[in-house]
Every structure is written in C-alpha cells, then in structure tokens.
Amino acid sequence: MSSPTLPETAPFTVEQRQWLNGFLAGLQNFSLFASASAPPTSTDTGMVSGMPVLVLYGSQSGNAEGLAHTFADKLKARAKAGGGAISPRVLGMEHFADVDFTSTKHILMICSTWGEGDMPDNAAAFWEWLKSDKAPTMAHASFAVLGLGDRNYRRFCQGGKNLDGRFAELGAKRLRPLCECDTDFENKSVEWMTTLFMALDADAGTTGVPAERTGIRPDAPTPAPTSGTSTDSTGSPRASSVTGGYNRKNPFPAAMLENRPLNARESAKDTRHLAFSLVGSGLEYKVGDALGIFPRNDFDLADRLILRLNCNGNEQVTLPWGEEGTLRSSLLERLDLKRASKTLLEAILQNARNPGERSRLEKMLAGSEEERNAYLGERDVLDVLDDFSKSRLDPQKIISALGRLTSRLYSIASSPKTFPGEVHLSVGVVRQRIGSRLRRGVASTFLAERVPLGMSVPVFTQASAHFGVPEKSGTPIIMVGPGTGIAPFRAFLQERKQIGDTGKNWLFFGDQKKSFDFLYSDELTSMHNDGFLTKLDLAFSRDQEDKIYVQDRMLQQSKDLFAWLEQGAHFYVCGDAKRMAKDVDAMLHRIIAQEGGMGEDKAKEYVESLKREKRYARDVY
C-alpha cells in the first residue's frame, strides 16, 4: 500500500511538505516497535488468566526492556483475541530474587550485551547468582533467549549466550534455539516472538490465533524514506525514539551548523564539537539520549576495493538483502567495509586456486571460532582480500558476503532547553596507521572530514530509558566522563542550569594534557567559578611522570564521594567500556568498602542497591 502524500499544489513550503509526508508515512506504517521507545515502568503487565509465563529482561539502555513489554502485550492480545490462555509477567533481571525458579515452568529472556561481552547492569547480579551453586536445577522448566548485540564487538550477544548455556546446563528445555540479533534486530525479534507463540500455544493446549490479529506482522512495510535521505536503516543497541514522521527507519536530513576542534593544535587527539539543525524535523530528545548518524564509507577505501576486485565501479551488483546498485555506490553507501566475517572467508575460498592460500582458508574455517575471530578482529575487508592476493575474486560473491553499513550512535552533548532546534555531539576522530595504510573511523572521519557546513546528514534520535538527570529537583549528581565521555554531562549541566535545579553537581573529567585536551574548558571553568558546578576534579594522565586517571581522583576524594552517595547522589559514568568503566566501577566498590567500613560483599550489595534505585547509570561504548 502506498503512503499518502500531499499534492505539489498544497500551500506549504518544500520543507513543510517533506515533514508532513514523512509524518503521514509514519502514521500509516507504525509498527510494534514504537512501544520500545517508552516501555511501561511497572513490572505488572496486567492480569490475564492462563498459563503463567515469566518474561525477564536484561537491559542497559532500554531496547530489551521495551521488547519484553511488547512481547507480553502481544501475548495478552492473543488471549483476548481467543488465542492461547497465557498470563505473562515481566520483570527486570535485577528482581530475580522475587521469582521462585523451582516452580516457574516457562521462562523467556531478552538480554542485551554491552562492552566486551558484559552483562547489562541490571542483569549482573542475576548472572552471578545463576552461575553459582545457589541456582536450582531447572529440569521442570522450558526457556528461550533473545540476545541483542552488535557484531562490531568480538563477543557478540555474549549476554544471551551466557543465559542460554547456563539454563541448559541446569536442565531446562529450550523452546527454541538462542536467537542472536545484530543492531538490526526488528525482523529477527518478530520471528522469535512468532515461533514462541506457537510453542507456548502447544504447551497451553490451544491453537492460537493468526499473527496479524495480535498486531505482529513479520512482513510489515517500513516507512518510505523522505527524498534526499538514506534508505539504509539498520538499527542500533538502543530503543528508537519515534517522533512525527522521522525516526531510524526514516532519518531526517540535518544540516551541519558547526564543526569545531576541541583540542589544541599540538594535541595527539582530534575531538570535534559538531552541531546539527533539527528545525522542521519534529524530532525531540532529552538529555541522556543519543543521536544516530548514517555515515558513508571512505572514498579511498572504496576505490582500493574496486581495484582489488579488478572492476571499474560501474558494475551492477545485488546486495545480500536484494537491493541492486552499482559496485561503487554500494561500497560507499550500503556495505560494511570494516567488519570482515567468516562468510567473507568462505566466499574467497570458493574461487581460491592457489594451494597455499586455499589450505590457509580451509584451516582457518575449520579452526576454533576464537582463533578465527582474533584474525578477523584485526582486519577490515580490504586487509582480508589483500591477505589472499593470489586468489581470483568473484565480485558478486564478495559483495554477497558483506554486511550492511550500520548507523552509529553518539551521546548527545546539548540540552534542547539551552539549544532549541539544535543537537550537539562530541566526536573523537579515529585515525590509525597500521602498516602502510591509514585506517579512518567510518563515521568520525565522515563527519569531521567529508561533511561541509550546510550539508545534510541523515540522523535520528534514540531514547535512553535509564540515563538522564534525576527527576527529583535538588538531587546531587556525580559524573565521571573522561574524553568524549564529557558529552552527556555537558548536556546534564546545561539542563539543570536552565531549569534552575539547585542540586549539587560534581564532575570528574580527564584526558591526556590539560593545555591541549581540556574539552569545553571555558564552559566548565565558568560553571565551576560561579558555583553551579560544585566540584570539578581533573585528571590529565600525561602531565606528570606517573599517569593519573579519573579513578585516582575519585580515591583522593573518597570521603566526600561516599558522603554524597549517603546524601542520595546519583552516580553516572560515560566513556570507554573496555577499561575506564571497569576501573571506575572497581574504584567505586573500593571507596564504599573503605569509607563505609564494609567488607567486599557488603560493598557489592551497596552498589547493587544503587543500581536497583536507578542511582548508578552508565552510558559506555
């Protein structure tokens, strides 16, 4: 069905007509995932009599939570429509102690993964309990797991894999195999839900109802893109914010207003302050949310791949999902050239004629996943093709082995109350020389180098369910955000200042050198001097012989930090998940144990209570 559009003769400007057409398309094609942007806050999904089903979610930023509530709503809708008599109960995994697992027979889990294979914050305690001797046998139970992840990380969907493997070890029966979703999770999650409907209907002794009567349509069309925007929308780890006609499936062409270096010229880093116009989009955001960007690949990398494939770029190719285009446009706008995969190795092997290279490929494919991932994790697509330079390549087979070019998410660095109609980002530009090649970050160099002022970039807003300023005015906040982790806290401070919140504000910021890398120094220093930023602790690692990091400054201020927590302060962390966030978390536990006179176990319980109370939140990447 085509979407309704305004006639060209309608009395609107081009911009107004574009916005209204997008809005109409969004209304017509609104799908079940709209609910993921604002999941119910209650753990009670409503009373529906029937077979009890427990739906547990482990969620870092809201996607898994939204899907859990959506699934429960669809189960209830089926019951009302005359389908399976099933009574769902939705719980965050932090509430696992409220569940009697010795008698619960049907357990469905939706779990995300963050960092390098870590469980989301609200699932960490559940996982520790589940893998301990305290977990009961589950031979009486059946289960299924939906894992959300990002293939850019080596331990893809590790949270879901953990739960799936452990429940099986405890004797539970799988209702269906583990479903692993990449950032483009919609279709696979719908398939997971649909197959589970049938399995649960069978256990409940009912025949169920057609999927279309529950509002779930695996073949539901996506909104038609507005002219001039990217049609490649492939998802992200967060819940999509659906506002007006523009969203992740239909991104808004936002003009770049500002591209300003935040580091001094002498710095070893290149961090940019970027501003975009949202005027006419209808998009809204709150502090703590993220902005999704649809980038284009580097021209030089695309040209090198065209040469390596012995092509001229004008050849017609078919992408893995059926779309057709020229080789050059596909490499620039549609395909992921950063992630090399097992499928790519298999495609090269099909035409490998050199005995040595064929043997290497066969050995690699037959070897362990860990060894193969270690090789692939250090190489992009061009690296892998160059590694097998004696093999003849079939361009179509190579293209068919590549994934989609996905959107990138950036923490928003502005308050909409301070900068209405705009959205700001703090982006660290990635450039790394490996061998003879200069590797460029896909999105960061696209924004920093290839988007002139005034040019439009396809964007969408992503809601963060659990990362934002406290609702209660006057609440103290402690923010730890080194490097580009400062972004959301710049927004937090702007917001609280704009609304006149009298709560105390404490910021820990760090980078390499104060004279080169003190991001937003004028703004932060001004806020500190006028007393609005109550405490500002800085850690510049290269300004002295012994490196000093934000966690070291936390330890130096341990008495005050614990006192703030005792006063009800919220504790926030933003930045690198692999090292910084873990080091900060370990230091937080140490400070609480030291200043609270607690043992290790009691300090751990204290931190878990902060998480349950939504007073410890992390936005890490």
Q: Domain containing 539 — which CATH number?
A: 3.40.50.80
Q: Does the residue 6 lie in any domain?
A: no
Do residues 459 and 276 lie in contact, with contact meaning Cβ atoms separated by under 8 Å? yes
Angle at 396 between CA 391 and CA 397, to 5 degrees: 55
Q: What is the pLDDT of residue 217?
A: 38
Tens digits of per-residue pLDDT, 387-433? 999 999 999 999 999 999 989 999 999 999 999 999 999 999 999 98
| Residues 554 and 480: beta-carbon distance below 8 Å | yes
Distance separating alpha carbons of residues 305 and 382, to the nearest angstrom = 6
Name which of 133, 163, 137, 138 is nearest 148 in CA terms. 163
pLDDT digits (tens, 9 = 90+) for 260-304: 999 999 999 999 999 999 999 999 999 999 999 999 999 999 999
pLDDT at 206: 54
Cα separation, 394 vs 383, in Å, equals 17
Q: What is the DSSP letter of 422?
A: E
Burial of 453 (0-12, 13-18, 19+ CB in 10 A): exposed
Alpha-carbon distance of 40 to 18, in angstroms, equals: 32
What is the CB-side half-sphere exposure of residue 113 using CA atoms within 13 A?
28
425 assigned to some structural domain = yes
Q: What is the pLDDT of residue 46?
A: 44
* Pair type for strands 316-318 and 324-326: antiparallel
450: helix, strand or coil: coil
**Residue 59 and residue 202 in one domain:** yes
**pLDDT score of 208:** 47
User: How far apart, in Å, are the Cα atoms of 489 and each of 21, 483, 513, 520, 564?
Assistant: 35, 11, 20, 11, 18
Residue 471 within a domain: no
Q: Give the pLDDT confidence of 448-507 residue by residue, as tens digits.
A: 999 999 999 999 999 887 899 999 999 999 999 999 999 999 999 999 999 999 999 999
Q: Assess whether pLDDT exceeds 70 at residue 210.
A: no
**Are 467 and 489 in contact, with CB atoms under 8 Å apart?**
no
CA 318 to chain centre: 28
Q: Identify which has the larger pLDDT, 13 or 139.
A: 139
| Sole residue written with tokens 């998410």 | 409
For residues 525-556, b (16+ Cβ closer than 10 Å) or e, as one string?
eebeeeeebeeebbbbbebeeeebbbbbbbee
Residue 474, Cβ neighbours under 10 Å: how many? 10
In a domain, 348, yes or no: yes
| Domain C-terminal end among 379, 400, 421 | 400
For residues 555 and 436, state if they share a domain: no
422-428 and 239-240: which strand pairing?
unpaired
Q: Are 108 and 53 in contact (CB under 8 A)?
A: yes
pLDDT at 57 over 50: yes
Looking at residue 98, which CATH number applies to its domain?
3.40.50.360
Instruction: Kindly report the average pLDDT of the chain as a whole number.
Output: 86
Q: Is residue 8 part of a domain?
A: no
365 and 353 in one domain?
A: yes
CATH (domain of 318): 1.20.990.10
What distance in Å separates the CA atoms of residue 153 and residue 46, rounded to the nearest whole number? 37
Same domain, 181 and 257: no
Whether 90 and 193 share a structural domain: yes
Distance, first Cα to last Cα, the chain: 39
Q: Is the pLDDT of residue 9 over 70?
A: no
Range with the poorest average pLDDT among 9-18, 219-228, 323-332, 351-360: 219-228
Of the two residues 340 and 204, the one the predictor is more confident about is 340
pLDDT digits (tens, 9 = 90+) for 429-444: 999 988 788 999 999 9
Residue 318 has pLDDT above 70, yes or no: yes
Per-residue pLDDT at 51: 86
- Reported as a single tens digit per residue, the pLDDT across 353-382 is 899 999 999 999 999 988 998 899 889 999
| pLDDT > 70 in the chain, percent | 84
Please tell me the total count of domains within the chain.
4
- Per-residue model confidence (pLDDT) at position 17: 52
pLDDT greater than 80 at residue 342? yes
Range 374-381, long-range pairs (CB < 8 A, 24+ positions)? 376/339, 376/340, 376/341, 376/342, 376/345, 377/154, 379/340, 380/301, 380/337, 380/338, 380/339, 380/340, 380/439, 381/305, 381/336, 381/337, 381/338, 381/339, 381/340, 381/344
- Tens of pLDDT, residue by residue over 575-614, are 998 899 999 999 999 999 999 999 999 999 999 999 989 9
Give tens-digit pLDDT for 12-42.
Answer: 555 555 555 554 544 444 343 444 434 444 4
Quote the tokens at residue 426: 């703090």
Residue 520 and residue 496 share a domain: yes
Beta strands in 300-436 (DSSP E): 316-318, 324-326, 408-411, 422-428, 431-434
Residue 58 lies in domain: 32-214
Distances 201 to 44, 85, 196, 391 between C-alpha atoms, Å: 22, 8, 8, 52
pTM (2 decimals)? Answer: 0.78
pLDDT value for 232: 30
Residue 296: C-alpha distances to residues 26, 333, 450 (Å) = 25, 5, 9
Q: Is the pLDDT of residue 240 over 50?
A: no
512-535 pLDDT, tens digit per residue, is 999 999 999 999 999 999 999 999
For residue 272, which phi and psi values (nearest 5 degrees)?
-115, 140
Give counts: helices (H), strands (E), the chain. Answer: 20, 22
pLDDT at 276: 98
In a domain, 27, yes or no: no
What is the pLDDT, as a whole number, of residue 242? 38
- Examine the pLDDT at 134 and tell me if it is beyond 90: yes
Provide mean pLDDT across the span 163-186: 90
Q: Decide which of 535 and 181 is more confident.
A: 535
- Regarding whether 184 and 67 lie in a shared domain, the answer is yes
- Model pLDDT, residue 241: 39
The CA distance from 200 to 221, in Å, is 27
Are residues 374 and 421 both part of a single domain? no
pLDDT at position 436 is 82
Residues 355, 319 share a domain: yes
Q: Which of 151, 186, 214 is the last residue of a domain?
A: 214
Structure tokens at 213: 């009567």
Q: What is the pLDDT of residue 10?
A: 56
Tell me, yes or no, whether 487 lies in a domain: yes
pLDDT value at position 31?
A: 40
pLDDT at 6: 54
Are 425 and 487 in contact by the 8 Å Cβ rule? The answer is yes
Smallest CA-to-CA distance from 472 within 503, 500, 493 is with 503
- Cα(38)–Cα(348) distance, integer angstroms: 44
Q: Which of 351, 372, 400 is the last residue of a domain?
A: 400
Whether 195 contacts 59, CB under 8 Å: no
The torsion angle over the Cα atoms of residues 85, 90, 96 and 102, rounded to 10 degrees, is 0
**247 lies in the same domain as 278:** yes
Whether residues 394 and 416 share a domain: the answer is no
Q: Are the C-beta atoms of 55 and 110 separated by less than 8 Å? A: yes
Residue 222 pLDDT = 31
Q: Residue 525 corresponds to which tokens in the numbers above?
A: 């220093």
Same domain, 562 and 615: yes
CATH number at residue 425: 2.40.30.10
Position 49 pLDDT exceeds 70:
no
